Structure formats: structure tokens, C-alpha cells
Amino acid sequence: MQFDTKVGTDIDEAAFWLKKGEVVGIPTETVYGLAANGLHADAVAKIYDIKNRPSFNPLILHVANENALQDLVVNNKIAQVFMHAFMPGPLTLVLPRKAIVPDITTAGLDTVGVRIPNHELTQSLLQKLDFPLAAPSANPSGYVSPTKAEHVAENLSGKIPYVLDGGACIVGLESTIIGFENGQPVCYRHGGLAIEVLEKLIDQQIPLRIQADVLHSPGQMKSHYATNTPLFIIENEEDIKQWKGKHIGCIVYDQFMSEIPHENQMLLSPDSDLHTAAKNLFQAMREMDARGFEMILAQKVQNTGIGYAINDRLQRAQHHLKNV
């Protein structure tokens, strides 16, 4: 179906389309989501179609509060501790699903990811609905996730009726995903909530089970979160020298590189704060991608706190994963 995509702040209009089984862009504190009624198989199918998402990649269900969450999943003790401490917030918990959750939402898995987004507009929207919202990030599969309503409109114009505009996302990277093996927590994805913070709360280590990128066809590994311009990770000034003579755009942490003209660089965080860097990363990748550089070089950050998630996204965006 073709739509004349509107961008606005009208919760009633967003609710109207969602109740009709259509797909709407919604703001969260992490990234914008592409939302539909998560209990309605036909509505969920539209998300996969619009995003061009492989059908075996499951979706996260978004609800307003813990009560709504209990209807969808079977809880455990540690999950409960995390829920009380960090929801609403940039955390997704993967738990055994209840029968009400349709197969298409979980891609057939017997678990489902659930999350309570910490965003005023989307909270109000969820309170007007009597169903959870299934929502992946609102980018076409493989491209950089959106952190502003205009990013969603740019990428999906004509495909959805409405984008609820909640401003720039405060966190800027997707939620941290925690699942459970034999009742013990494991981390499926680094994200907006630092893993150390979760570990400290329960006083135990959380092993990593980071998911690889999706294999699309034999011999071809498609990157996630990738710019169209080839992107490479650098650590320091020295690493730039191998690309001398190329037209380079550079995404740096808190200091310009002396080898590259300043106007071709973007500082993620002049104040040397990893949270600011996370908030600005996807916007910077999109802006650099639009400027016609031969390549984008992106500087790795410290592996600490939300820095793990920043480096994870850079690695997934890195060019060598494409067309191997």
C-alpha cells in the first residue's frame, strides 16, 4: 500500500493507524521503532515487508508497564530484579513467551524480547492501546538505525502513514538485550545500558552471546547498521596514512585528526563523554554518508560502559563484512 507519509506529534493519529493494523514510526529513548500491533499476525507481517527484514529475525514487544509485560512472558527472579531496576529504560529481556504472542512476532522461537521504552510520547501512545507494539528499529534492513523522525521519513516515505515525532533520541543506540540460559543471564547485544551496571546489581558476571550478522545468501555477508559509503574503523592518526590521497570523511571521538581537513570530520563528543558520542553516532554516520566521500573512517572508542555498544555498531558497519 502507498501512503502519503505524515510526520507529527499527534498520539491519537498514531493510535488510529495502529488500531487499523497499519505500521507507524515511533520514538523511543534508544532509536526510532517501526511499530505495529504485536499480537496481530497481519500487522506484524507488514513490518517485515516494509523493512525488508528476513522472516527468521524476531521482533521486540514494547509495553507501557510491568503489568502489561506479565501478560506476554514467563518471568524469572533475575529478570524481575532487572525489570524493577531498569525498566522503563534501554533494556530488552528475552523470556519464554505466553501463548498470546503469535509465531510471526518471535520468528517461531519460544521466547520473546520485551521492553518498556522510556519516552513520554510513546508511553502515552501505549496507554491508549490494548495491545503491545512489535517494533524493530525503523531503518531498512542493513542500514543505519534512525535517531530522528526525519531519518524515518527519509528512509520509509510512502510506505507508512505516520511517524510520531518525539525529537532526537536521548540514548542514540539500541537497547541492551539480555536472555537467560538455565535461569542465568546472558548478553545477546551490547546497547544503551552498560553491561557492567547490570553485573553490579546482581553481583555476577554476564557472559556474552553476541549475535552475528544475518547471512543473506551464500558467499555474501550483509553488514548491519552500514552506511552506503564504505566505512573502516581506525584507532589513531597513524591508521589514516594507508589511505593517503583518498577523499575521506572522518568520524572522531573527541579530537580532530591532523591529517584530514576539519570540515571533513565530525566530533562525536567534544566533551569526551561516551554517552554524548553514542547519542550522536548514527546521525554522524548518516551525515557523512550523504556527503559523497570515497570512504568514511570512524574512530574506535574506549571499551568501557556504553563504549562497548559504540564499538559493536562500528564493527557491524565496517565494510569488510560486505560482499565477501
Interface residue with ligand TXA among 14, 15, 39, 60 (CB under 6 A) is: 60
| 156 close to 149: Cβ distance less than 8 angstroms | no
CB of 105 to ligand TXA, least distance (A): 9
30 binds ligand TXA (CB under 6 A): yes
Report how far residue 148's alpha carbon sits from residue 166's, in angstroms, rounded to the nearest whole number: 8
163 binds ligand TXA (CB under 6 A): no
- Count the site residues for ligand TXA by CB under 6 A: 25
- For ligand TXA, the closer of residues 57 and 323 by Cβ is 57
Decide: helix, strand or coil at residue 234.
strand
Q: How far apart are the first and last CA of the chain?
A: 35
Residue 31: name its binding partner from Mg ion, ligand TXA, none (Cβ under 5 to 8 Å by kind).
Answer: ligand TXA
Using CB under 6 A as the criterion, what x/- string covers residues 167-186 for binding ligand TXA? -------xx-x-x-------
CB of 247 to ligand TXA, least distance (A): 31
Report how far residue 122's alpha carbon sits from residue 246's, in angstroms, rounded to the nearest whole number: 44
Q: In the chain, how long is the greatest CA-to-CA distance?
A: 59
CB of 184 to ligand TXA, least distance (A): 16
Binding region for Mg ion (CB under 5 A) out of 93-101, 130-138, 270-278, 287-295: 130-138
- For ligand TXA, the closer of residues 191 and 249 by Cβ is 191
CB of 225 to Mg ion, least distance (A): 8
| 175 close to 278: Cβ distance less than 8 angstroms | no
Q: CB count, 10 Å around CB of 8? A: 12
- For ligand TXA, the closer of residues 161 and 179 by Cβ is 179
Collect contacts of 68-72 with beta carbons under 8 A, ≥24 apart: 68/126, 68/132, 69/114, 69/116, 71/98, 71/100, 72/97, 72/98, 72/100, 72/101, 72/112, 72/114, 72/132
137 binds Mg ion (CB under 5 A): yes
CB of 101 to ligand TXA, least distance (A): 10
Gyration radius of the chain over CA positions = 19
Report how far residue 124's alpha carbon sits from residue 73's, in angstroms, rounded to the nearest whole number: 22
272 binds ligand TXA (CB under 6 A): no
- Binding to ligand TXA, residues 87-106 (CB under 6 A): 92, 94, 106
Report the sign of the C-alpha dihedral through residues 235, 236, 238, 244, in that order: positive
| Residue 12, burial from CB neighbour count under 10 angstroms (0-12, 13-18, 19+) | exposed
- Binding to ligand TXA, residues 135-154 (CB under 6 A): 135-137
CB of 255 to ligand TXA, least distance (A): 29
Q: Which parts of this chain interact with ligand TXA (CB under 6 A)? A: 28, 30-31, 33, 57-60, 92, 94, 106, 109, 111-113, 115, 135-137, 174-175, 177, 179, 188, 211
